[in-house]
Amino acid sequence: MSIDVYLNGEFLPVEEARVSVTDRGFLFGDGVYEVIPVYGGHLFQLQHHLQRLHNSLRGIGMANPHTDDEWEQILTRLTSQLGDSDQALYLQVTRGCTDVRDHAWPEAIEPTIYARTKTLKPPTIDEKRRGIHAITLDDPRWQHCNIKAITLLANVMARHEAADAGAQEAILIRDGLATEGAASNLFIVKDKLLITPPKSDSLLPGITREIALELAKQHGIPIAEASISAVDLRTADEIWMSSSTKEIVPVLQLNGEAVGNGVAGKVWEEMTVLYEDCKDRLRNGEQL
Ligand code: PDD
C-alpha cells in the first residue's frame, strides 16, 4: 500500500484514511479545494494554486491553516511518495467537525485538511486533438463561482446532462453570456483573436487559463479578456476548454454542430506546443 494521503498531520494509505460523519464538508459541502497537476514529480504552478486556495478560504470566512512554506512541505512530501511520476494532487480543506448540526458554524473549530495524490497519465497531443463535444446549458449556480467550493452539485448535474447528450462538457450560460464549463474554463478563437471571459464572480479563475494567457502574451498570440455571447460561441472558429487535469482541449462539436471546420484549430495547435514545452521544462526540473 502506497502512502498517498495526507490527513490532519498524518501521511497514510487511502485505505486507512477516515473522516468523521460530523465533518461539515460531508454534511454541508462546507469547504474548498484545489487540484494541482504534478509533472515528473514537480508541482505545477504551486504558488498560483496556493494563492487561489487562500482566496477561496477567505471567501468562505476561514483562516488559512498553513503558510505557503508549510503547504509546500506537506505537498512535496506527499507527492514524493510516488517518485517522479506525473500526478494529480487533490487538496481539500473543510471547516471541520461539529457535534451539533447547525448551518451557522461555531468560532472554535479545527479544519479538516486532506490531500490525496494519484498517478496521472496526461492526455497525449493526439488524444487531445481528437477533441470533445460540448452542449450549452443555463448556469444555475450561486454568485460566488470564483470560490473553488467543494459544493459542486450544480456542476455535477451539468456534467451529467452533457454526458446524457453524448458530450463531454457543458458550457454554462449566465445572462446570455458563456462563462465557463462545468469543470473547465472557456476560450474561443475568432479571426485569430484568442478570447476568454474576464475574471468575475461568475467563473473560477483557472490556473490553466492563466498559463494559457501568459503563453499567448509571450508568443505574440493576440488575446482579449472579453464577454462571449451565445452568438460568439456559435460563430467561433475554435472553442477550447482548459483545466488542470484535462489541460487544453478543443471542442469540435457544440450542440451537435461542427465548430469551425470541425477539426482542432491552428491556434490550438500552436498553444498546445507551448503548453507541452512548459510541462517538459518542469519535468526537467526547470523553475517556471
Ligand atoms: N476543475 N472552472 C471550473 C468550474 C472548474 O471546476 C475548473 C477545474 C476550472 C479550471 O481551473 P484550473 O485550470 O485551475 O484547473 C474552471 C478541477 C480540475 C476539478 O474540479 O477537478
Q: Report the separation in Å between the CA atom of 107 and the middle of ligand 1, taken as the mean of its atom positions.
A: 30
Domain at 125-283: CATH architecture? Alpha-Beta Barrel (3.20)
Is 148 a catalytic site residue?
yes
Q: Which residues are registered as beta bridge partners of 31?
A: 94
Nearest CA among 30, 32, 25 for reference residue 149: 32
Ligand 1, atom nearest to 244 Cα: 15
Ligand 1 atom closest to 246 (CA): 18
- Band of pLDDT at residue 265, cut at 50, 70 and 90: very high
What residue ranges line ligand 1, CB within 6 angstroms? 35, 155, 180, 183-185, 204, 206-209, 242-245
Q: Report the b/e string of 171-199 with b at 16+ CB within 10 A.
A: bbbbeebbbbbbbbbbbbbbeeebbbbee
* pLDDT number for residue 288: 78
* Nearest protein Cα to ligand 1, atom 1: 183
Each domain of the chain, given as residue ranges in start order, spans: 4-119, 125-283
Those residues with Cβ within 8 angstroms of residue 269's Cβ, 6 or more apart along the chain or in another chain: none
Q: What is the tens place of the pLDDT at every residue in 97-106?
A: 999 999 999 9
**In the predicted structure, residue 264 carries a pLDDT above the cut 90:** yes
The atom of ligand 1 lying closest to the CA of 49 is 14
The alpha helices in the chain, defined as continuous H runs, are: 24-28, 46-59, 68-80, 125-129, 153-164, 207-218, 230-234, 266-283
Cβ–Cβ under 8 Å, residues 173 and 139: yes
Q: Rounded to whole angstroms, what are the CA distances from 58 to 65, 150, 246? A: 11, 15, 27
Q: Which of 148, 190, 192, 266 is catalytic?
A: 148
User: Which value, in Å, is the radius of gyration of the alpha carbons in the chain?
Assistant: 19
Indicate if 125-283 has the same CATH topology as 4-119. Answer: no
144 CA from centroid of ligand 1 (Å)? 14
The residue contributing the CA closest to ligand 1 atom 5 is 183
β-pairing, 87-94 with 42-43? unpaired
Per-residue model confidence as pLDDT tens digits over 60-92? 999 999 999 999 999 999 999 999 999 999 999
Please choose, from the candidates 55, 18, 23, 50, the residue with its C-alpha nearest in 3D space to the C-alpha of residue 34: 50
CA 185–ligand 1 middle distance (angstroms)? 7
The answer to whether 169 and 183 have CB atoms below 8 angstroms apart is yes
Class of 4-119 per CATH?
Answer: alpha beta
When the pLDDT of each residue in the chain is averaged and rounded to a whole number, the result is 97
